[in-house]
Amino acid sequence: MPTRIGAVAIIPAKDEAQRIAQTVVALAGLDVVLSVIVIDDGSTDNTADVAGASGAYVMRHPQSTGKAGAMTTGVEYADQLGYDQSPVLFADADLAATASALVDLVRPVLADEADLTIATLPPQQSAGGGSGRVVRLGREGIEAATGWTAKQPLSGQRCLNRAALEAATPFAPGWGVEVGMSIDVLRAGLRVVEVPVDLQHRVTGTDLRAKLHRAAQYRDVRQALRRRADR
Ligand SMILES: Nc1nc2c(ncn2[C@@H]2O[C@H](COP(=O)(O)OP(=O)(O)O)[C@@H](O)[C@H]2O)c(=O)[nH]1
Ligand SMILES: [Mg+2]
Tens of pLDDT, residues 150-172: 999 999 999 999 999 999 999 99
Q: Where are the domains of the chain?
A: 7-227
**Closest-CA residue to 116 (of 105, 126, 127, 125):** 105
Residue whose CB lies within 8 A of the most ligand 1 atoms, among 11, 14, 154, 177, for a mutation test: 14
Q: Taking residues 168-184, what's their average pLDDT?
A: 98
CA distance 5 to 34: 8
- pTM score, whole prediction: 0.96
7-227: CATH topology: Spore Coat Polysaccharide Biosynthesis Protein SpsA; Chain A (3.90.550)
Q: Look at 1-5, 19-23, 27-31, 184-188 and tell me which has the smallest mean pLDDT.
A: 1-5
Which residue's alpha carbon is at the smallest distance from atom 17 of ligand 1?
A: 204
14 lines ligand 1 (CB under 6 A): yes
Which 3 state secondary structure label does DSSP give 117? Answer: strand
155 alpha carbon to ligand 2 midpoint, in Å? 9
Q: How confident is the model at residue 3 (pLDDT cuts 50, 70, 90)?
A: low
CA distance 120 to 134: 16
- Look over the chain and give the mean of its residue pLDDT values, rounded to a whole number: 95
Q: Look at 47-61, 148-162, 194-208, 214-228 and tell me which has the smallest mean pLDDT.
A: 194-208
Q: Please enumerate in sequence order all residues whose Cβ is within 8 A of that of 1, keeping only pairs 6 or more positions apart, or say none.
A: 82
